Amino acid sequence: MKQLIQNLRSGVTSLEEVPVPQAKSGHVLIQTTHSLVSLGTEKMLVEFGKASLIQKARQQPEKVQQVLDKIKSDGLLPTLEAVFNKLDQPIPLGYCNVGVVREVGDGVTEFAVGDRVASNGSHAEYVSLPRNLCARIPDHVSSEEASFTVIGSIGLQGMRLIQPMFGETVVVIGLGLIGLLTAQLLKAAGCRVVGYDVDQRKVSIASDLGITAFNGSVTDPVNFVREQTSEVGADAVLVTASAPNNEIIHQAAQMSRKRGRIVLVGVIGLDLKRSDFYEKELTFQVSCSYGPGRYDEAYEEKGHDYPLPFVRWTAKRNFESVLLAIANGALRVRPLISEIVPFTSFQQIYGNLTDKDRIASIFEYPVEEQKVTRVVRFGHAVQAQGTLKVGLIGAGNFAKATLLPALKKSNVSVYGIASHSGLSATLMAKKYGATVATTDYRELLNDKDVNLAIITTRHSLHARMVSEALAAKKHVFIEKPLAVNAQELEEVRQMLMQSNDRLLHVGYNRRFSPHIAKVKSLIGDRPGLVNLVLTMNAGALPANHWTLDPKEGGRIIGEACHLVDLAVFVTGSLVRHVTGQSMGEQSNSNTDSGSFFLGMENGSNVIVNYFSNGARSYPKERIELFYQGKTIVVDNFVKTSGFGWKNFSSLKTPLDKGHLMQIKMLSAALREGKPLIPVREIMNVSEATLAMVRSLQENRCIQLS
């Protein structure tokens, strides 16, 4: 299928051939018939892409601070590499999609194959969307009209926030597409609507739709509104304009009555004057997209709807309201259609996004039902038989920024890449010379040309995918953790026993860092008694971040396992027992701030500190080793210092957590048929990490079997 994307570094907009996504649980697969181009939003994205690095930085000062913090903790070169990798990730365009349901995922009961639906899908021939971001289209609403659903709901949500009452005067500032839709909805709600813009054509369209409209570049907006309201002022102002200056918000305050309401839907300067708001006790609010549920993973991805008696208008119910308004004639959208263009002729629109004569442009897609193809093949040469060929499952940030570059530098062939959306798999396949991109990872597991499966998906999928890969006779590299609960770990153990000719590696890369190699060279493989303190300054995450979901195991299982592996590797001993304590009076098993004592089989003692409440500017990791009257400190895999050693004082390198060396050594180990990390260590690290969480749950020391 074809999908429209934009490169954030170059600003180039292009059509990309990508595999069709799957209708996973709670989702529907839609074959697109029409999609509306949000000219304002997409113009901003295109212009951002075309801007220089300096201009990009000026537009996002908060990101600049994040970059500066990362430079302090990780160094300049790794930070620049991360920034450029991020800019090299093209983004899909579009969010106003209409199409026909072709597949429904598990748990979806409100849609059936053949239904026409509106969704926030991108400009692509097929899209897979959560059921709570889709709405069925009434029979007598055309697909062209229905393509206004999502952008109409943006205006509707802003309107709901101002809580308009019948007879009130509401001003709409900015008569672009959202402004014209919102003005009509306000009029349908019984409000007296005044709107203005600096574009006379838009003013004329608004007048034809029954709006009291005027040109703000000719007529003084504040005086006009005061005259229209007998000097009282507007009851509410809805700002749908986009402008970098602060004049619009000043005008909105000046034209409001005392205790008036102002809601922002557009993008404007927000250097508020206190006197504007103080004297009239004005309220100001920013509207968030389509309505309640937007950006809530529980609502969008997990399909948990908000109870109607408590949250009357969700994103989906706003979609349905807009469709109803179109159906009953309260919302007229046909006068707003400037052009309908074949999807493959996208440059007709994107080549001139500054055309002020356009209000709404619509893409039209082929109507015939197409064969659903979840594999795209490229003309890249397949290496000779016997060489290591990788099937990469998961093309997220870690795979893009770290793993794929390491594979390339190690001359390891990436045969195929699988991702849920298909877009990231396609782009990475083209960049790294892979032969296959797919949205079905089993295509790679069943492909005879793949002999190593590398899995970098969400943690809850790891154990199942490892077992499937082993059953398919593949060697496996699983990015940690191996499992998120004891049952999963046992299932993997049993599968390994049945697949003793296949090798399993877990991505505990830190043991391959040159800094850890130096530590081992100083103390030896079996050093005897060691005191070890391992600290990870992990940093806080938003409460809704996926790694904090108990289903995904949480951050202790997902990331602190790195420190447990270091404990096993550095001491040369397995973990015997674990005791943990989280912050606060009561232990919290889902914490991301805790300290753990690991008693090793050889009598060594290890303290693992995993903290989320430290400064981001402080280095992320620190290792302190105390041994036979000597000390070693590893500072964030950049500097290692020795105290009391005759022939060693320090080692300095660029940030090196061992990712590249891990791949090089893994490649050699697989050729020799030998595990890179002994299975007993892999299992012990997994058991100990699970025991850390169990210790918090049961508030006791956990003995390992």
Q: Which residues of 557-585 are buried (b: 16+ CB within 10 A; e: fewer)?
A: bbbbbbbbbbbbbbbbbbbbbbbbebeee
- The 10s digit of each residue's pLDDT in 145-198 is 999 999 999 999 999 999 999 999 999 999 999 999 999 999 999 999 999 999
Residue 48 pLDDT:
60
Residue 534's alpha-carbon distances to 54, 293, 489, 517, 547, in angstroms, are 39, 40, 25, 16, 21
Asked if the bond preceding 92 is cis, omega within 30° of 0, the reply is: no
Give the ranges where 292-368 is alpha helix by DSSP (H).
297-300, 315-327, 347-350
Band of residue 288 on the pLDDT scale cut at 50, 70, 90: very high
Between 46 and 248, the more confident residue is 248
In three-state secondary structure terms, 165 is coil
The class (CATH top level) of 151-286 is alpha beta
**Integer distance in angstroms from the first to the last C-alpha of the chain?**
52
Please check whether residue 659 is in contact with residue 652, taking contact to mean a CB–CB distance below 8 angstroms.
Answer: no
Residue 254 pLDDT:
96
Residue 281 pLDDT:
96
Strand runs (DSSP E) across 562-704, as ranges? 575-582, 594-600, 605-611, 621-627, 630-635, 639-643, 650-652, 702-703
**Beta carbons within 8 Å of 430's beta carbon, 6+ residues apart:** 378
Residue 81's alpha-carbon distances to 87, 509, 579, 617, in angstroms, are 10, 19, 39, 18
Question: Is the pLDDT assigned to residue 56 strictly greater than 90?
Answer: no
Among 393, 388, 336, 338, CA closest to 361? 338
Question: Is the pLDDT assigned to residue 140 strictly greater than 90?
Answer: yes
Ramachandran assignment for 462, one of left (phi > 0), alpha (psi -120 to 50 degrees), beta (any other): alpha
**Could you tell me the residue ranges of all domains in the chain?**
2-146+333-364, 151-286, 385-506, 509-703
Half-sphere exposure of 311 (CA within 13 A, CB side): 15
Among 619, 559, 632, 543, CA closest to 594? 559
Taking residues 561-578, report their average pLDDT: 98
Between 583 and 72, the more confident residue is 583
Q: Give the DSSP letter string of 268-309.
A: E-----HHHHHTTT-EEEE--TTSTTTT-HHHHTS--PPPTT
Question: Is the pLDDT assigned to residue 354 strictly greater than 90?
Answer: no
Taking residues 340-350, report their average pLDDT: 94
Between 95 and 500, the more confident residue is 95
Strands of 169-173's sheet in order across: 212-215, 192-197, 169-173, 234-239, 256-264, 283-286
Band of residue 384 on the pLDDT scale cut at 50, 70, 90: very low
Distance CA 682, CA 698 (A): 24
Beta-strand pair 504-506/531-537: unpaired
Among 541, 422, 585, 500, CA closest to 90? 422
Please check whether residue 690 is in contact with residue 586, taking contact to mean a CB–CB distance below 8 angstroms.
Answer: no
The two three-digit tokens of residue 231, written as one number: 């000097």
Taking residues 437-444, report their average pLDDT: 97
Half-sphere exposure of 578 (CA within 13 A, CB side): 31
Distance CA 449, CA 403 (A): 20
Taking residues 200-209, report their average pLDDT: 96
Looking at the DSSP bridge assignments, the partners of residue 449 are none
Is the pTM value of this prediction over 0.85?
A: yes
Same fold, 2-146+333-364 and 151-286: no
* Long-range pairs for 577-585: beta carbons < 8 A, 24 or more residues apart: 577/691, 577/701, 577/702, 577/703, 577/704, 578/688, 578/691, 578/692, 578/695, 578/701, 578/702, 578/704, 579/695, 579/700, 579/701, 579/702, 580/692, 580/693, 580/695, 580/696, 581/696, 582/696, 583/613
The two three-digit tokens of residue 228, written as one number: 């229209």
Half-sphere exposure of 676 (CA within 13 A, CB side): 23
Please tell me the least confidently modeled range out of 16-30, 135-149, 323-337, 578-592. 578-592
Taking residues 265-271, report their average pLDDT: 91
- Tell whether domain 509-703 is in CATH 3.10.20.740: no
**Beta carbons within 8 Å of 218's beta carbon, 6+ residues apart:** none
Distance CA 371, CA 369 (A): 7
Distance CA 577, CA 240 (A): 60
The two three-digit tokens of residue 259, written as one number: 């205790």
- CATH code for the part of the protein at 2-146+333-364: 3.90.180.10
Average pLDDT of the chain? 91
CA 325 to chain centre: 33
Residue 385 pLDDT:
45
Distance CA 441, CA 420 (A): 9
Q: Give the DSSP letter string of 454-485.
A: EE-S-GGGHHHHHHHHHHTT-EEEEPSPS-SS
Residue 7 pLDDT:
84
Please tell me the least confidently modeled range out of 150-154, 244-248, 377-381, 486-490. 377-381
Question: Is the pLDDT assigned to residue 82 strictly greater than 90?
Answer: no
Residue 38 pLDDT:
84
Give the ranges where 383-461 is alpha helix by DSSP (H).
397-398, 404-409, 423-432, 442-445
Band of residue 57 on the pLDDT scale cut at 50, 70, 90: low
* Residue recorded with tokens 């320090």: 650
In the CATH scheme, what architecture does the domain 385-506 have? 3-Layer(aba) Sandwich (3.40)
Among 395, 436, 635, 427, CA closest to 536? 635
